[in-house]
């Protein structure tokens, strides 16, 4: 693609300014490229973790339902309902933000309230219910983890797209444009020098 | 005239990019022991936002370090992106950072001039374990 010349006055000062701008643009390009590579690395890692978290979530849910259906078969629905009403607890999720190369990403953490007792009677229930309770806790943890990962993936994806546009603009428009203009100005100055020389020669010949 | 507007827009974009890359750096770092004592462990960033730490990670770090080391380990650990694209540098103010990194990567590491050099695959491993307790810094050598 032919690069468009930047409209500047053909003076030495403008040439110096353009050279400074070119060096700045090249430095910025280096930073943006570094940032892009870091964001891509994080994105791929997050995508991998999301896949693992999804598998974990599906696995723990299917096992949890199995355990719960076994427990309900063992105790009966009515008895199980009665026991589980007492075991309801509000989960505490701590939400915060973390920063990855300028991208603010949510961070969730499930914390237990320090309750060791499950709430239901250990005498009236079996180990099936304990197992189901254990698995449901795992499910909850997997949900929180997946929520964080999916949101991170989305935000990182948006930022990668943005950083790519900036990199492309620098790589294909700004830097080549500046280089072409600098070359044009250099050629123009050389041409002026040559004209000056020829003029001097001509004047010298006329005088002689 | 449109050229001038376009140029100004690009310059604004570039300036914003430079400001943004290091905006998430912590204003001041906290020691591991003090963070372990907080209910919601976090540090304030240069842009005024808060960077929160996960308790799990802090507990993991507490497990691999002694009590004396916890007093000097400053968090988040800063990872400086070097000029060489193949690697990164971890800024180590004390020996404890070196100990932590070698424990996480499961290999001996040596600090040279207060900096510990690691490569990209190691960086991935490190970030996988210490997500909130490490942070990227874009080197001042390449930032104007």
Q: How far apart are CA A101 and CA B135, in angstroms?
A: 8
Does B89 score more than 70 pLDDT? yes
What pLDDT does B144 receive?
40
Residue A31 is nearest to which of B3, B23, B142, comparing CB atoms? Answer: B142
* Mutation site for B-interface testing, chosen from A98, A101, A108 by largest number of B Cβ within 10 Å: A98
B4 confidence band (pLDDT: 50, 70, 90): low
What pLDDT does A156 receive?
94
What pLDDT does A155 receive?
94
Tell me whether A36 touches chain B (CB under 8 Å): no
Tell me whether B133 touches chain A (CB under 8 Å): no
How many residue pairs bridge chain A and chain B with CB atoms within 8 Å of each other? 89
CB contact under 8 A, B42 and A111: no
Tell me whether A153 touches chain B (CB under 8 Å): no
Residue of A nearest to B12 (CA): A166
What pLDDT does A128 receive?
74
Chain CA centroid to CA A6, Å: 34
* Residue given tokens 């916890």 in the structure block: B70
Tell me whether B55 touches chain A (CB under 8 Å): yes
Tell me whether B54 touches chain A (CB under 8 Å): yes
A79 sits in which H/E element: helix A77-86
Burial class (CB in 10 A: 0-12, 13-18, 19+), A99: buried
CB contact under 8 A, A6 and B3: yes
Query: What is the pTM for the complete model shown?
Result: 0.82
Tell me whether B20 touches chain A (CB under 8 Å): yes
A130 confidence band (pLDDT: 50, 70, 90): confident
B142 confidence band (pLDDT: 50, 70, 90): very low
A109 confidence band (pLDDT: 50, 70, 90): confident
Does B3 score more than 60 pLDDT? no
Does A195 score more than 90 pLDDT? yes
Structure tokens at B138: 């874009």
CB contact under 8 A, B124 and A104: no
Residue of A nearest to B127 (CA): A42
B92 confidence band (pLDDT: 50, 70, 90): confident
Residue B124 is nearest to which of A30, A31, A45, comparing CB atoms? Answer: A45
What is the distance in angstroms between the Cα of A180 and the nearest Cα belonging to chain B? 15
* Mean pLDDT lowest among A25-39, A102-116, B10-24, B35-49: B10-24
Residue B7 C-beta-side C-alpha neighbours within 13 Å: 14
**B chain contacts of residue A114, beta-carbon cutoff 8 Å:** none
Give helix B95-105 / helix B55-64 axis angle, nearest 10°: 100
Residue B22: CB atoms within 10 A of its CB come to 20
CB contact under 8 A, B52 and A98: yes
Q: pLDDT tens digits, residue range A15-34? A: 888 888 888 888 888 888 88
A122 confidence band (pLDDT: 50, 70, 90): low
Write the DSSP symbol of residue B26: B
Q: pLDDT tens digits, residue range A44-71? A: 999 999 999 999 999 988 988 888 888 7
């Amino acid at each position: 693609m032919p690069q468009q010349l930047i409209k500047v006055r053909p003076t030495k000062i403008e040439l110096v300014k353009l050279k400074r701008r070119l060096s700045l643009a090249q430095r910025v390009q280096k930073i943006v490229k570094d940032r892009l590579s870091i964001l891509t690395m994080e994105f791929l890692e997050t995508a991998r973790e999301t896949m693992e978290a999804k598998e974990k979530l599906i696995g723990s849910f299917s096992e949890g339902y199995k355990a719960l259906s076994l427990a309900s078969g063992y105790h009966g629905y009515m008895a199980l309902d009665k026991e589980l009403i007492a075991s309801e607890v509000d989960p505490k999720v701590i939400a915060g933000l973390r920063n990855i190369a300028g991208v603010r990403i949510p961070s969730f953490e499930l914390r237990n309230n320090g309750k060791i007792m499950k709430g239901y009677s250990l005498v009236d229930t079996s180990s099936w219910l304990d197992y189901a309770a254990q698995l449901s806790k795992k499910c909850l943890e997997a949900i929180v983890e997946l929520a964080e990962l999916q949101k991170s993936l989305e935000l990182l994806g948006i930022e990668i797209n943005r950083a790519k546009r900036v990199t492309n603009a620098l790589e294909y428009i700004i830097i080549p444009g500046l280089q072409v203009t600098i070359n044009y100005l250099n050629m123009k100055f050389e041409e002026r020098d040559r004209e000056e020389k020829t003029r001097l020669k001509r004047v010298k010949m006329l005088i002689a | 005239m449109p050229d001038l507007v376009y140029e100004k827009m690009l310059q604004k974009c570039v300036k914003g990019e430079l400001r943004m890359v290091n905006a998430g750096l912590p204003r001041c770092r906290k020691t591991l022991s003090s963070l372990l004592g907080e209910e919601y462990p976090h540090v304030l960033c240069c842009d005024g936002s808060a960077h929160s730490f996960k308790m799990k990670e802090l507990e993991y770090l507490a497990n691999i370090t002694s009590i004396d080391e916890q007093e000097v380990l400053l968090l988040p650990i800063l990872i400086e992106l070097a000029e060489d694209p193949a690697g990164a540098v971890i800024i180590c103010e004390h020996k404890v950072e070196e100990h932590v990194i070698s424990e996480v990567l499961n290999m001996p590491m040596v600090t040279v001039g207060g900096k510990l050099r690691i490569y990209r695959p190691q960086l991935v491993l490190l970030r996988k374990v210490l997500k909130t307790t490490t942070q990227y810094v874009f080197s001042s050598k390449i930032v104007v």
